[in-house]
Amino acid sequence: MKYPLSPDVKPEFCTTGTFMRLPSHRENAKVAILGMPFDTAASFRVGARFAPQAIRQASMTLFPYHPISKVYPFEDTNAMDIGDVPVIPHNIHRSYDLMEESVLSLMNQGIIPIGLGGDHSVTLASLRAAAKVYGPVAMIHFDSHTDTWDTYYDEKYWHGSPFIRAHEEGLLVPEKVFQLGIRGTLNHPGDLEASYDLGYNVVTTPEIRQRGFNNILQQMKEAIGDTPCFLTFDIDFVDPSCAPGTGTLEVGGFSSLETLEMVRSLSGFNYIGFDLVEVLPPYDPTQITSLLAATLVHDFASLVALKLKK
């Protein structure tokens, strides 16, 4: 049987609970969907623990073929959905260990994980796993926040600090980190300086609009080259009019169409992992945020399929 199942084989509402009804195991898998339902490192709204199941539910309306990339992303990669990491909601460090173990197991088999968060703290676990396999990696980071704030309430591990912790642990190649779409109000002018001081490339929303994404894409390709690259996508990169179901909304972002066009242009990088974070289903009554998230996961798998095809 070919996967994912098309609606003409089984109706969309007859779900197995996996992303696009993918099997939980496949021979020669190159991509694995992995739920990371941890959200108690969030500073404001919580609820992202329910995102993996909501994104999987929204994926039921997607079809197998990607008409822009001209690939069958989940068939061409023998993709599977291995379920959720059994996180511990009141213990971030034990949850990190469990998530890192799951991601490391996949990467050691040459399988590219696509993590479904969870708040953005979960990315640190994936980067720890990636560094054990590949050494320090490049990172393409879509977000409205840099997530390089050192502490919050004197706590060093929360969803606003994964990328300062990653720098301290030597998980990233700083000059090959691009933080895209940063916008919104700040506590003080130095909030952005934290990322600059780490050596990261910060590209704000106004700069993307002024320069054009193609110009920034060329800069990223020259800087990153063939270095193993992790792509992390915080759904609040998108304007809240298109993605209201998130925890820390920032107005003035990009539309869903503009976002998809950017992601679909990102072929040619040496991807070793992806995640999509900060979807909060309790604030997404019409499922438009979850559907956008599922569509982005479809696009991530398409980027892998394109690389395999080439």
**pLDDT score recorded for residue 159:** 86
Mean pLDDT of 198-224: 97
Q: Is there a contact between 290 and 280 (Cβ–Cβ < 8 Å)?
A: no
| Residue 99, pLDDT score | 98
Phi/psi of residue 272, each to 5°?
Answer: -120, 0
What pLDDT, on a 0 to 100 scale, did the predictor assign at position 220? 98
pLDDT for res 194? 87
- pLDDT confidence bin for 9, thresholds 50/70/90: low
pLDDT for the residue 289 = 98
Residues in CB range of 80: below 8 A, 6 or more apart: 22, 23, 24, 25, 26, 29, 31, 32, 33
Residue 1 in this model has a pLDDT that exceeds 60: no
pLDDT value for 115: 98
User: Residues with Cβ < 8 Å from 34, sequence gap 6 or more?
Assistant: 81, 82, 83, 84, 85, 102, 103, 106, 113, 114, 115, 116
What pLDDT digit, counting tens, does each position of 293-304 carry? Answer: 999 999 999 999
Secondary structure letter of residue 237 according to DSSP: G
Task: Classify each residue of 235-254 as buried b or exposed e, where b means 16 or more C-beta atoms within 10 Å of its C-beta.
Answer: bbbbbbebbbbbbbbbeebb
Question: For residue 148, what are the contacts with CB-CB under 8 A and spacing of at least 6?
Answer: 161, 163, 164, 167, 194, 195, 198, 200
Whole-prediction pTM value? 0.95
Radius of gyration, CA atoms only, the chain: 18
pLDDT at position 201 is: 98
